[in-house]
Each structure stands twice: as structure tokens, then as C-alpha cells.
Amino acid sequence: MDYQDRHVVVTGGAGALGIAVVEALLRGGAEVHVPYLHAAEAERFPFRGEPRVHLAGPIDLASEVEVGRFYAGLPALWGSIHLAGGFAMGGIAETDREALMHQLEMNFVSCYLCCRAAVTAMRAGGGGRIVNVAARPALEPRTGAGMSAYAASKAAVAALTQALGEEVAQGGILVNAVAPSILDTPANRTAMPKAKHELWPKVEEVAATIVFLASAENRVTRSAVVPVYGRS
């Protein structure tokens, strides 16, 4: 994908999927802006010294003020890729209001606020691309048993993607999402050592789908929530 001289935000860029996405964007020539909340994220980020990577933080992506300030300070924005979020297992008996709101803030509110700020920036520049990350339970809610709060927060991301995609398409902004199953990461392998890891989607493969959806080469796909399940 050709991203030469295009500015792209990647939230959650220091995570396993985020690193793969940033690497692919850099290969395409992009200028990548990575907001972070904790200093440790920036310190361990493998592209910290890359001149076309711009780390910014600390930024709370659930804060409207902080998100707005971050996006307002960017150069002309082409793409905004929203990977930031968090997972919590737990049945409804163990998940109180505080835990529910934490899932919603991490997964949905952060995505909504970044979408809102990105749309404002992209309208000023004549268009762009937004890619969100939902999850398999967003498309198959019954698979969210035992993690209902997480499933609901990701279903909200999927609904936002489809509604917003229709809202802003006429302005040249295409909004899509991917919905991964369990990603093949070291952390997930440690958590599920007996699973069939070879069936899980690889972060590089999911990153390739994201980078296409966020590219100028994607001219027609909008309001889609794309399953990226691998063979799992």
C-alpha cells in the first residue's frame, strides 16, 4: 500500500497488533502518530527511534479534552486506526457497574472519541480512512458468554462503525472495522497453552487487512466489520 507522506494515527500502537500495523505503514512510507498512556509503552516501543514515528503522551483516550487536543495538533490527517482497548473475562455475577464502565471506556468510548476527532480533521482535509477493531463476539454474541461486558463493548464498536460509515461516506471518509478471533500473540499462547495456536490469525495477517482498509487503494469498502478469524 502506498502511504507516502500520509499521516496516520495508530492508537494501541505499542501492542502486538499495533506494532505489526505500524511496521506495515512504515514500509508504505507513512508518517505514524502513536498516542500512549503509560511511559512504559513508549519505552518498549520498537520503533521509538524511527524518524517517521511520532509518539505522543500521556494521553487518556477516554478523555474528550485530551483526544481533541491530540488530533487538533496533527498535520493533515489521512488515516486513523483504533486498536486501543482491553479484555476482561468474567460472568455477569462478577462484573459490576464499575467493571462494565471500565470495559466500555477502554473499548467503546476511546474508539468513539477518536472517530469523532478524526472525522473533524479529515473533513478539513477532504477525506480519509478510519479503521476500528471489534472482536468475534461483536459479530457472534453467543461466543461472548462469560465475558458479556467485553462482548457488549465490542458490539458497540461494530455498530458505531456501520452507522458512522454511512454518515460520513459522502465526505470521502470510509469507515470500517476488523473483528479478530483470538490473535496469535505470546500473551495469548501463555494464557491458553493447550489451544491450537496454528489456527489463530497472525498479527501480521490482520495488520495487512487493516492497512488495506486504511489505504487510498480501498476505494469502495465502507461500513464493513470484516471477520479476521484465520482458521479458528
Residue 189 lies in a domain: yes
What pLDDT, on a 0 to 100 scale, did the predictor assign at position 194?
87
* Set of cell numbers at residue 222: 465502507
Residue 2 lies in a domain: no
* Structural domain harbouring 142: 7-228
What pLDDT, on a 0 to 100 scale, did the predictor assign at position 227?
97
Residue 116 lies in a domain: yes
What pLDDT, on a 0 to 100 scale, did the predictor assign at position 231?
87
| Cα-based angle 85, 87, 93 (whole degrees, multiple of 5) | 135
Q: Are 145 and 98 in contact (CB under 8 A)?
A: no
Count: domains in the chain: 1
What pLDDT, on a 0 to 100 scale, did the predictor assign at position 124?
93
Q: What is the mean pLDDT of each run of 10 residues along the chain (232 residues)?
A: 96 96 98 97 95 98 98 98 95 96 98 98 97 97 96 98 98 98 86 88 95 98 97 86
| Cα-based angle 3, 7, 8 (whole degrees, multiple of 5) | 90
Residue 165 lies in a domain: yes
Q: Which residues contact residue 219 at a Cβ distance below 8 angstroms, ignoring those fewer than 6 apart?
A: none
**CA of 162: how far to CAs of 43, 54, 125, 225, in Å?**
35, 30, 22, 8
Residue 15 lies in a domain: yes
Residue 124 lies in a domain: yes
Q: What is the pTM of this model?
A: 0.96
What CATH number is given to the structural domain containing 139?
A: 3.40.50.720
Round to whole Å and give the CA distance between 42 and 13.
Answer: 9
Residue 1 lies in a domain: no
What pLDDT, on a 0 to 100 scale, did the predictor assign at position 180?
96
Residue 35 lies in a domain: yes
